[in-house]
Amino acid sequence: MARIELDLAHAYRANPTQDSDYALLPLKMTFNDGGAYALLGPSGCGKTTMLNIMSGLLAPSQGTVLFDGKDVTRASPQERNIAQVFQFPVIYDTMTVAENLAFPLRNRKVPQAQIDKRVGEIAEMLEMSGQLNQRAANLAADAKQKISLGRGLVRPDVSAVLFDEPLTVIDPHLKWQLRRKLKQIHRELKLTLIYVTHDQVEALTFAEQVVVMTRGRAVQVGSADALFERPSHTFVGNFIGSPGMNFLPATATADVLQVAGAQWFLPRALPEGALKLGVRPEYVSLAQPASAGALRCTVSKIQDVGTHVMLTASVDGQTLKARLSPEVQLPAEGEEVWLQVLGEHTCFYKNEEIVQ
């Protein structure tokens, strides 16, 4: 396994001059040995480009890739000793499940007894022990993809295992199981795993550290908790969560904070000028009229979502969402309510970046 350090940028076109010419803007990033990482972001943000640069399928147009301090920028995937799992199954239909799982080990001339042991362990982790002697050709698409996952995980000596949206072909209910399984496998095998996805649930369940990307930029690297509690960029606040964070325009002076027409004493040290107040719907609550840090809003929608109620309100032309317990006395649509937006979980942003 290896510690992977990136200090690079990548443009597919020659002579890039502006930010939009880059698939990856200049970045520095370290993936620690044995960690479970996800690269998360919308389509086109540069996830696959970053993964391919790590695997050696693509050389960055500038900068370096280090594995355990050694420069591997121009080394092939084989030389880097990387295992990869792609969106669609890559297996041999004519072989049995066991032969498919054994293939990467056999290729490296691992002794038969060790192959049998490791294949047995991996099959058990993936709950495929009963299918080891079946021909892969006869299996359903998700079983085939499980074999691909197994082949990616079977070699204990790889620098890292890279997954590119590996659960795309998997049924939703099995997807949920496999996500958990991968997390458990990571704990047991202690391999460095890097997982590309545009699905936040997938990233947040699987990874210890999630790299959130947008437009060729890694905007935050953090745990699920950090991304939820303190998004360092408004993009992360928006992208993580369902629905994402509420943002309201705010202005700070030396001692007053103005938010959506209301004025309060400055709650903490903030830079003067235009800001955005960010608060997650989970931390917006019903408040007493005219409470400090609360806004008078008009309820536009109440949705019962089973475990909670999602209240949508408008204030000063802005939309605000609050996730409320169904136990509270709910207002009706069209009614005026006071919603608390200021509290210990409220964040402030200047030029889209969090204010410390």
Minimum CB–partner distance for residue 168 and ligand ATP (Å): 10
CA gap 99, 96 in Å, rounded: 5
Q: To the nearest whole angstrom, how small is the minimum distance from the Cβ of residue 59 to ligand ATP?
A: 13
DSSP code at position 45: S
**Contact letters (x/-) for ligand ATP, 189-208, by CB under 6 A?**
---------x----------
State which of residues 43, 78, 107, 242 lies at the interface with ligand ATP (CB under 6 A): 43
Rounded to an integer, what distance in angstroms lies between the CA atom of residue 166 and that of residue 47? 13
Q: For ligand ATP, which stretch binds (CB under 6 A), given 37-45, 125-133, 136-144, 320-328?
A: 37-45
Contacts of residue 33, defined as CB under 8 A and 6 or more positions apart, other chains included, come to 1, 2, 3, 68, 192
Name which of 121 and 164 has its Cβ closer to ligand ATP. Answer: 164
Segment lying near ligand ATP (by CB under 6 A), choices 40-48, 135-143, 171-179, 274-282: 40-48
Nearer to ligand ATP, 37 or 103 (CB): 37
- 45 binds ligand ATP, rule: CB under 6 A: yes
**DSSP 3-state assignment of 327?**
coil
Q: Which of 4, 31, 38, 49 binds ligand ATP (CB under 6 A)?
A: 49
Q: Which amino acid is at 279?
A: V
State the nearest-atom distance from the C-beta of 215 to ligand ATP, in Å. Answer: 9
| Beta-carbon contacts of residue 51 (< 8 Å; ≥ 6 apart) | 39, 162, 164, 194, 196
Stretch that binds ligand ATP, among 46-54, 140-148, 259-267, 336-344 (CB under 6 A): 46-54
Give residue for tokens 């074999």.
Answer: 147
Residues 12-31: x where in contact with ligand ATP by CB under 6 A, - otherwise, as a string: x----------x--------
Smallest gap, in angstroms, from Cβ of residue 8 to ligand ATP?
13
Residues 153 and 189 sit within 8 Å (Cβ to Cβ): yes
Given candidates 48, 62, 134, 205, which one binds ligand ATP under the rule CB under 6 A?
Answer: 48
What tokens does 145 get? 């993809």
Q: Report d(CA 212, CA 8) in Å as an integer.
A: 17
Task: Give helix then strand counts, H and E, for the chain.
Answer: 9, 21
Minimal distance, residue 39 CB to ligand ATP, in Å: 8
Which residue in 6, 38, 46, 341 binds ligand ATP (CB under 6 A)? 46
Is residue 201 helix, strand or coil?
helix
- Secondary structure (3-state) at 8: strand
Q: Quick check: 110 and 187 in contact, CB under 8 A?
A: no
Q: Which residues are near ligand ATP by CB under 6 A?
A: 12, 23, 41, 43-49, 198
